[in-house]
Amino acid sequence: MGQQPQWADRPQPNEPDSLPQELPDLLRRIYRARGVLTADALDYSLSGLPDPNSLGGIAAGAARLAAAIQNNERILVVGDFDADGATSCALAIKALQRFGATHIQYLVPNRFEFGYGLTPELLEMATDPAPNVILTVDNGIAAHAGVDAARAAGIDVIVTDHHLPAKTLPNALAIINPQLEVNRTFAGQGLAGVGVTFYLMLGVRATLRNLGAFADGVKEPPLADLLDLVALGTVADLVPLDTVNRTLVDQGLRRIRSGQCCAGITALLEVAGRDPRVATADELAFAAAPRLNAAGRIADIDIGIECLVAQNPKEARELAEQLQTLNQERRSIEQSMRDAALSGLDAESIEGVEALPPILCVMREDWHQGVVGIVAGRLKERFHRPVIAFAPGDNGELKGSGRSTANIHMRDLIEAVDIASDRALIKRFGGHAMAAGLTLPAAAYEPFKACVEKIVRDQYGDKAIADVILTDGQLAADDFSLQRASEIRYAGPWGSGCPAPCFRGEFLVRSTRVVGQTHLRLELSPKAALEQRLEAIAFNAIEHWPKLEKSQTEGSDISLIFRLDVNRYQGRDRLQLVVDHFLLEAPLSLQ
């Protein structure tokens, strides 16, 4: 059984708010705890977005793409193999086609052959015919060699990216990245790759407008209807849902729910058993995104991109069903890898989970490199400490993916190992605070493991750096209602940086039953209102609580961390509690 996380109630700010007076008290409390104190912060209209011209690099990049369109030049979009990269690529293709570009191709490196981003090796695949312009989406900020090779071949490169830059930048014609120092005052610094691509396309349209491309009755192409792609890529990439990203996601979700959605996203949601008419960020994060990511993890992301650009609903559905099959395969691979990792870690932690090191490094020769990131994330949730998982790559290399807790910056930690080893251990690395990837020579695994454990111990001690679960406190008896659950569901969008509300409370267990082999369905009564009977579901409870027995729960008192949710079944909505954390042996500590 995994180590118990720590948790506390979210503090309420001392200052007054100017939120709408009609806002329910519970929602006001939730918003205030997330620093949302003004009505303007809840205004998700597009007019509130920052001006595209305020993002450095837009002018040069937009001018070159506008010229390429007007001169009928060949444009190559180089994407990434995850959901953010796929949506970025699809958005660029759709927008450029609307602007009149007729020679557009896209190319995404197969992660198993070429690794990540624009490289000289990838460029060799794009020479028949050679493009005049390369546009990178969701990558390129570290593509020094690839950009140099393109320039040597007479190809202009425009980089759009959102990953952290190194000390030197590639020698591209234009770089659009909100993380650059020149953009330190830009309000959208948290943009995902697809958000940066969307901003560039706004700039291209404005440039074409100024050049008179939409005169003489030529209709100006819309771009707002591409916000469904922006919403999906933004949620999938776990970037912070600041005001700008909440606006982009909210606007995209409104279009999805109203049926103004591309055939591909509709098909992805439907094959996952989700109704697009009631979609929230959760449906994008846990239904559409994993199916897109599955293609890039174990096959070819081109299937996902073709699904997103498909005009015909039948074609989109067929491609979505292929992605569904790949996702099922990915889940099977992930489960076997996770079981192997847990077996080894359980043996290592026979004296208790506290005996494990404060950061976990795991590797097996039979693991799949496309799934190590998911395994790292699952182990982090189980053991509440940072995890880096490795699998064999090509040419004697190991491909690693790390997932971190709130207090440790994963990319910076890997860079610290790189510096401490005099650049002798790590061949390549990159990423964010919470997630990063790296490549090692196989022989460097044990030295890397020892080095990263030492750095974490030196900085934080032997105790694991666990995330603290922040709750929104207790609920009044009348808050356990379908109305409150519906209000919370659509009060988002919720996600990274603006997490969905969760609450704490003590309950009497009326009944339990196992469903779907690993999930636990419960009937509960709040201790403060025993006359109420509430449905609850604890996903993967049997896996996370292997000692769970019926006799330990029915008729007993338990303390829970839970979320209010709307369970839609056969067209009928019902209140459901989703249990995130609970203890069976003793009341849950909420201090």
pLDDT, residue 128, reads: 77
- The stretches of 237-312 forming alpha helices (DSSP H) are 243-257, 263-271, 281-283, 289-298, 302-309
Give the least confident one: 296-310, 337-351, 570-584. 337-351
| CA–CA dist 268, 121 (Å, integer) | 32
Q: Report the pLDDT averaged over residues 163-192.
A: 94
Section 454-475 average pLDDT: 85
Q: How far is the C-alpha of 9 from the C-alpha of 391, rounded, in Å?
A: 39
Residue 72 has pLDDT above 90, yes or no: yes
Phi then psi dihedrals of residue 541, to 5 deg:
-65, -35
Task: Please indicate whether residue 310 or residue 436 has the higher confidence score (pLDDT).
Answer: 310
* Inter-axis angle of helices 243-257 and 193-210, nearest 10: 80
Q: Residue 125 and residue 38: Cα distance in Å, rounded?
A: 52
Whether pLDDT at 1 is above 50:
no
C-alpha 199/C-alpha 160 separation (Å) is 10
Q: Which residue has the higher pLDDT, 531 or 128?
A: 531
DSSP three-state, residue 466? coil
Q: Which amino acid is at 285?
A: A
* Cβ–Cβ under 8 Å, residues 259 and 225: no
Residue type, 369: Q
Side-chain half-sphere exposure of 468, counting CA atoms within 13 A: 10
Q: Is the pLDDT of residue 589 over 60?
A: no
Reading across the β-sheet that carries 435-441, which strands appear in turn?
360-363, 387-392, 397-403, 435-441, 428-431
Angle between helices 193-210 and 227-236 (to 10 degrees): 150
Structure tokens at 252: 């995209």
Q: Are 62 and 203 in contact (CB under 8 A)?
A: yes
Of the candidates 87, 19, 98, 66, the one whose C-alpha atom is nearest the C-alpha of residue 248 is: 87
Provide CB contacts within 8 A for 357, sequence distance 6+.
Answer: 453, 456, 457, 462
Question: In the predicted model, what is the mean pLDDT of the chain?
Answer: 90
Tell me: pLDDT of 587 over 90. Answer: no
Average pLDDT over residues 44-65: 95
Print burial letters for 328-343: b (CB count within 10 Å at least 16), e (below 16).
ebbeebbeebbeebbe
Q: Is 489 helix (H, G, I), strand (E, B) or coil?
A: helix
- Using pLDDT thresholds of 50, 70 and 90, give the confidence band for residue 238: confident
For residues 509 and 266, the model is more confident at 266
Whether the pLDDT of residue 552 is over 60: the answer is no
The β-bridge partners of 106 are 77
Contact 416, 459 (CB under 8 A): no
CA–CA gap between residue 426 and residue 493 (Å, rounded): 38
How far apart (Å, rounded) are the C-alpha atoms in residues 17 and 55? 31
Q: How far is CA 261 from CA 251, 280, 318, in A?
A: 11, 14, 17
How far is the C-alpha of 472 from the C-alpha of 34, rounded, in Å? 10
Tally of CB atoms within 10 A around 493? 26
Q: Residue 350: its pLDDT value, please?
A: 40
Q: Average pLDDT in the 21-31 region?
A: 95
Q: Is the pLDDT of residue 143 over 50?
A: yes
**Domains plus CATH for the chain?**
6-30+472-582 (2.40.50.140), 53-325 (3.90.1640.30), 349-468 (3.10.310.30)
Angstrom distance (rounded) from CA 263 to CA 525: 43
Residue 387 bridge partners (DSSP): 360, 403
Can you give the pLDDT at residue 227?
Answer: 98
Q: Which residues of 535-567 are buried (b: 16+ CB within 10 A; e: fewer)?
A: ebbbeebbbbbeebeeeebeeeebbbbbbbbbe
Distance CA 577, CA 496 (A): 21
DSSP code of residue 570: T
| Strand, helix or coil for residue 366 | coil
* Tokens matching residue 229: 């792609």
Decide: 389 and 373 in contact? Cβ < 8 Å: yes
What mean pLDDT is predicted for residues 386-400? Answer: 92
What's the rounded Cα separation, in Å, for the pair 288 and 274?
9
Under 8 Å between Cβ of 536 and 576: yes
Closest C-alpha among 108, 143, 144 to residue 125: 108
Mean pLDDT of 304-320: 97
Q: Which residues contact 549 (CB under 8 A, 6 or more apart)?
A: none
Which pLDDT value is given to residue 114? Answer: 67
Report percent pLDDT > 90 for the chain: 70
CA dihedral 380, 383, 385, 390 (to 10 degrees): -50
Cα separation of 147 and 29, whole Å? 50
Q: Which residues contact 436 (CB under 8 A, 6 or more apart)?
A: 401, 402, 404, 410, 411, 414, 429, 430
Distance CA 301, CA 90 (A): 11
